[in-house]
Structures are given as structure tokens and as C-alpha cells.
């Protein structure tokens, strides 16, 4: 049977009208969630903002890439930008909240900014509570180079992504399960990820503590393989406790991303 501490609030969905907002964060922490996840992208001037997609809409409905806008212009752009918190604001809110046992999953969508974000995490004394998550191996190799004890998680597809996914993502493919250290270290404004045909292998497998895979792609065999060396498995996403319980019974993975408040409320 799934436990409350296995469920991750995915972008604080269900806790506020909009995902990835301060209102959603505070509501999730006030509720007593045990794990939260959020995404970081950087503006053109290098300001880390809490947002998932590589682009957002202004008050007129026009789309702008996060990497093309300056932080000074966010409030005037309005729309999605007006409610987008910065990473320093969010980290401070987490650090000063009474829910001090909540684990923090930091999903980095850009690479090349790891030292700054690691320092920000340490400044707010969140290092011991954090897991560094990314679809970008560049990020995870860099975090490991900064701190070999840092907990990290590779998100990846373990089955070939369909055409719908490929239409909005740049898809890289692992070589026989291996993702070697990429030559590039800087990624800004890209929407991409890696297809690993089955479980991860090689140096990156030795580095990460977790993997995160789509709920429709997870399998008992995949989980069993990862569990052989203690790598834990999470999957995204679920909206009901029943779906979570069914997945745990079938596959035995360790954590579940939730896109709704209902699974948390079921424990009351």
C-alpha cells in the first residue's frame, strides 16, 4: 500500500489555480506534503525562474521563450510571467516554512548554471533535503562534479517516444543504455530528453540515485533491474490514489508524481 511520503506534488498541481506558483507551493506545504517538485528555467539575463515549459504567454496571449526575456520585463509582460516566482523567492519560502521535513525535487531544464543553483540551495540550507532532477545528463554530471554526495535523478523515456512527444521535444538516444558525458555543458531554452531502451547503464547509472520515467512506460522488470543496485524509481503522473495503488502493486516502484490534490487528501 502506498504511503503519503511516496507521493510527490508535481509542480504543486491541484493546490492552486495555476501550477508552479507561490500560492501552490505554500498550499502544498501547509497541507503537509512530504515531497514537492518544481522546474527551473533561466531568463536571458540568467535569472532562475520557476516554470516548466520553455515558453510562456504574456497578457496578450503572445508566446515568448524564457531564454529570450529579461527578468526586469516579466511583470510588464503579464500573463504567465506575472505569476512566475524566481528561484530565490521559492527557496526562501521553502526554507522558512514549518514543513521542514518536505523533500525538494529541483528539476533543472537548462544546463551550465549548476554552480549558481547549488550555491542558492546551500544558502537556504536545503542541500540535505534536495534531489537534483533533470532530463539533461549535462546537469547531473555537473552536479556530481560539484558534490559527489548530492542526490540526483535522471528523467528519461524507457520506450521510444511517440510522434506527439517528438513533435515538441528534441529526442536523444542512449547507446546501449549508456549516456556518456556530453561534450556540451551549456543548454539554454531547449526542450529535450533521452530515450534509454530499457534501464540506464554506465557511469551515469553509477552517479544517479533515482530515475523518473513515464507512468505508461514503467514495468516491473525495469524496476527490478534498477533496484538491483539500489537505484530508486519514480513515475509521472497520477491523479488518484487508486491509480497509484494499482501501479505500486503491478510494478513496485518507489515514488509517484501526482497532478492532483486528491491523492494527498485520501490520507486524511
CATH superfamily entry for domain 4-56+87-265: Phosphatidylinositol (PI) phosphodiesterase (3.20.20.190)
Please report where in the chains the cell 520585463 appears, as a residue: 73
pLDDT at 64: 98
Hey, which bits of 119-216 come out as E strands?
130-134, 151-155, 170-173, 192-195, 210-214
Residue 55, SS3 per DSSP: strand
What is the grid cell recorded at 96? 522558512
pLDDT at 81: 98
Biggest CA pair distance of the chain: 52
Going by C-beta distance under 8 Å and a sequence separation of 6 or more, which residues neighbour residue 128?
none
Hey, which bits of the chain come out as E strands?
7-10, 35-42, 48-50, 55-57, 63-65, 103-108, 130-134, 151-155, 170-173, 192-195, 210-214, 232-238, 255-258
Which residues of the chain are modeled with pLDDT < 50? none
Please report, for the chain, the start and end positions of each structural domain, with discontinuous segments joined by +: 4-56+87-265
Contact between residue 62 and residue 85 where contact means Cβ atoms under 8 Å apart: no
Mean pLDDT of the chain, nearest integer: 97
pLDDT at 1: 86
Q: At what angle do helices 87-96 and 22-31 cross, to 10 degrees?
A: 20
* Phi (first) and psi of residue 248, to 5 degrees: -65, -40
Amino acid at each position: 500500500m502506498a504511503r503519503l511520503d511516496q507521493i510527490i506534488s508535481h509542480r504543486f498541481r491541484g493546490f492552486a489555480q495555476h501550477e508552479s506558483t507561490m500560492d501552490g507551493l505554500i498550499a502544498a506545504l501547509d497541507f503537509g506534503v512530504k515531497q514537492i517538485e518544481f522546474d527551473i528555467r533561466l531568463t536571458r539575463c540568467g535569472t532562475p525562474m520557476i516554470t516548466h515549459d520553455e515558453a510562456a504567454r504574456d497578457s496578450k496571449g503572445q508566446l515568448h521563450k524564457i531564454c529570450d526575456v529579461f527578468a526586469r520585463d516579466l511583470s510588464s509582460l503579464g500573463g504567465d510571467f506575472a505569476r512566475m516566482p524566481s528561484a530565490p523567492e521559492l527557496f526562501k519560502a521553502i526554507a522558512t516554512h514549518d514543513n521542514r521535513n518536505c523533500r525538494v525535487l529541483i528539476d533543472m531544464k537548462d544546463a551550465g548554471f549548476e554552480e549558481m543553483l547549488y550555491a542558492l540551495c546551500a544558502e537556504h540550507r536545503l542541500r540535505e533535503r534536495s534531489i537534483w532532477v533533470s532530463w539533461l545528463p549535462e546537469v547531473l554530471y555537473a552536479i556530481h562534479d560539484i558534490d559527489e554526495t548530492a542526490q540526483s535523478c535522471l528523467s528519461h523515456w524507457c520506450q521510444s517516444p511517440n510522434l506527439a512527444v517528438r513533435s515538441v521535444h528534441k529526442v536523444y538516444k542512449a547507446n546501449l543504455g549508456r549516456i556518456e558525458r556530453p561534450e556540451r555543458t551549456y543548454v539554454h531554452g531547449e526542450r529535450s530528453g533521452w530515450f534509454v531502451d530499457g534501464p540506464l547503464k554506465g557511469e551515469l547509472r553509477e552517479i544517479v540515485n533515482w530515475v523518473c520515467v513515464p507512468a505508461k512506460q514503467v514495468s516491473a522488470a525495469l524496476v527490478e533491474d534498477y533496484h538491483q543496485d539500489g537505484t530508486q524509481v519514480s513515475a509521472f503522473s497520477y491523479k488518484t490514489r487508486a491509480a497509484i495503488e494499482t501501479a505500486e502493486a503491478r510494478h513496485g516502484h518507489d515514488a509517484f508524481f501526482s497532478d492532483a490534490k486528491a491523492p494527498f487528501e485520501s490520507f486524511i
